[in-house]
Amino acid sequence: MNDISDLRRTIVPKSDQLNAEQLLTQDMTITVSEVRMGTSEEQPVILHYPNDEGRPYKPCKTMRKLLIFAWGEDGRAWVGRSMTLYHDAEVRFGGMTVGGIRIRALSHIDKPIKVNLTATKGKKALHSIDVLKTATLAPVLEAIESAMNRADMDRAKKMAMELTAPADIERAQQAYAARAQALKKRAEPAPAPTPEPESTAEPEDDSNPY
């Protein structure tokens, strides 16, 4: 492990959930792959996402209210939808400012959301949620099918990584693999022609026309 291009992994806390400290340097967009009920009264909802490495997002009560308000109460409908999470340094717990995870944007909403939710006893806070625009499959497939070289394939792959629906991701992966195989075959050198056997017949003597 000599790659020092991204040292954030060295400060990830040992935890069974996504931690606010992981969002100190940048926001994080996740796509819900599974919704489960937990056993904790404080964190009864568990949201898994691809490559969560055993650290799913466990939204606090305020964020659960927001998700239900935006996406509805049926957790099954949340699968395949995406959200952008950020570190809010002003989150308080037990009378102390400790920081926490908040939602900045959601997919599958028609317009930005503004809703007042209880922050502390007797106090409410306004939460503003932006629309999270997600990639659609058609332009991704077009980019893959028209790719002619590695640079084109890299651009198509980058577009595909923005897809959120599991079915779209699988379709893009299949198309990418097929195109990569086609380009590989095209790049392979053509087989050398088989040399014709030398003739053993005596050469004709053209000096005498008769």
pLDDT of 183 higher than 90 = yes
- What is the token pair recorded at 157? 């792959």
Please state, in angstroms and rounded to a whole number, the distance separating the CA atoms of residues 21 and 8.
10
Span 160-185, mean pLDDT?
89
By CB atoms closer than 10 A (0-12, 13-18, 19+), residue 137 is middle
DSSP assignment of 48-85 equals E-TT-TT--B---HHHHHHHHHHH-S-GGGGTT-EEEE
Query: Rounded to an integer, what is the distance from CA 69 to the centroid of its chain?
Result: 24
Provide the residue ranges of all domains of the chain, joining segments of one domain with +: 13-131, 137-187
Q: What is the DSSP letter of 189?
A: P
Span 97-105, mean pLDDT?
89
What's the pLDDT tens digit per position in 47-76?
A: 999 889 899 999 999 999 999 999 999 999
Report angle CA 40, 41, 43 to the nearest 5 degrees: 65
Would you say 132 and 67 are in contact if contact means Cβ atoms under 8 Å apart? no
Please state, in angstroms and rounded to a whole number, the distance separating the CA atoms of residues 192 and 208.
40
Q: What pLDDT, on the 0 to 100 scale, is given for residue 33?
A: 92
State the residue for tokens 């595909």: 160
- What is the token pair recorded at 116? 């007042």
Q: What pLDDT, on the 0 to 100 scale, is given for residue 167?
A: 82
Please state, in angstroms and rounded to a whole number, the distance separating the CA atoms of residues 126 and 117.
6
Beta bridge partners of 46: 36
pLDDT, greater one: 194 or 110:
110
Residue 191 neighbours by CB under 8 Å, 6+ apart: none
CB atoms within 10 A of CB 133: 10
pTM above 0.75, yes or no: no
What's the pLDDT tens digit per position in 113-130?
A: 999 998 777 788 899 999
Please state, in angstroms and rounded to a whole number, the distance separating the CA atoms of residues 59 and 100.
10
> Helix (H, G, I), strand (E, B), or coil: what is residue 153?
helix
- What is the token pair recorded at 85? 């999470």
Share the mean pLDDT of the chain.
Answer: 86
Span 165-193, mean pLDDT?
87
pLDDT grade, residue 201 (50/70/90)?
Answer: low
The residue among 32, 34, 8 whose CA lies nearest residue 21 is 8
